[in-house]
Amino acid sequence: MRLKIRKIAAYAGCFLVLTGIWGVFLFPSDELIRYFRCGLSQMAPDATLSIGRLGLSLPPGLVMENIAVSLQNKSSVQADQIRLLPKLVSLFQDRNHHPLSARLLFAEIRMELPLPVISSFQFKQIQADIDWQGEKLDIISVTAEGVQMDGTLSGEIEVKTPFENSRLQITGVVKLKPEVLTRLKASFLGGGIPNQKVDGSGISFQIAGTLQSPLFSLK
């Protein structure tokens, strides 16, 4: 009996090793990178995407390294690593009736934006839980830990064509680091810069409008 169990375990181990070798050497990373680039160019024609490496990860999912997205308006986002961890059950459900659920994990993100005073942001990590069904992207939760700020947000994006016409409905809270808040108040002489609450809950905000013309407001 023990001998049979050992044989079964050995066969299972060989199967897993062979599957792993197949995944590493035959995984269509170049094709997927081209697919992602094509999808981004269709949504945002003025955007360019580069991915240094794309492969499989454990728990089951995709891992991308050395990612950079840039726009003609000089905005850019870079990340050392992005992991996409879909919920396996949602992969096999009908997309018309059930959303694709996934968790995105970003590591070491750098953003360059055409903004006054603070034009660059750095985040150590960002975790996002999303559901995507049809033209609706539900942002269940996003938690960011950054150098200049920490933050959380949730909401939804109604995806349109062209992509910049996609509609936003997002709410969140940011907690500015003391040095950043001081710099902002000095630049604007304190005008229009809300104080963070004493209890440390941060500054609440809302984003509406479209990706091309977002409307920001403080709550």
Sheet arrangement for strand 47-57:
47-57, 61-71, 76-86, 100-112, 120-133, 136-146, 149-158, 167-176, 203-209, 214-218
What is the band of 32 on the pLDDT scale with cuts at 50, 70, 90?
confident
Distance CA 25, CA 29 (A): 10
Q: Pick from 106, 147, 148, 113: which is nearest to 128 by CA?
A: 106
Instruction: Report the pLDDT averaged over residues 68-91.
Output: 84
How confident is residue 189, by pLDDT bands cut at 50, 70 and 90? low
Rounded average pLDDT over 13-37:
59
Distance of alpha carbon 202 from alpha carbon 150, whole angstroms: 9
Per-residue pLDDT band at 29 (split at 50, 70, 90): confident
Q: What is the pLDDT of residue 124?
A: 95
CA dihedral 190, 196, 202, 207 (to 10 degrees): -30
Distance of alpha carbon 208 from alpha carbon 159, whole angstroms: 13
Global pTM reads 0.78
Whether pLDDT at 216 is above 50: yes
CA dist., res. 118 & res. 146, Å (int): 14
Nearest Cα to Cα of residue 104 among 127, 75, 72, 81 = 127
**What's the distance, Cα to Cα, between the start and end of the chain in Å?**
68
Q: How far apart are CA 200 and CA 174, in angstroms?
A: 10
User: Do 142 and 154 contact (CB within 8 A), yes or no?
Assistant: yes
The segment with the largest mean pLDDT, out of 61-75, 140-154, 202-216, is 140-154
Find how far residue 41's CA is from the centre of its chain: 18
Domain positions in the chain: 2-218
User: In the predicted model, what is the mean pLDDT of residues 35-59?
Assistant: 83
Mean pLDDT over 2-21 rounds to 46
Q: Is 9 helix (H, G, I), strand (E, B) or coil?
A: helix
Q: What is the pLDDT of residue 157?
A: 92
Query: What is the per-residue pLDDT for 182?
Result: 82
- Tell me the average pLDDT across 64-69: 93
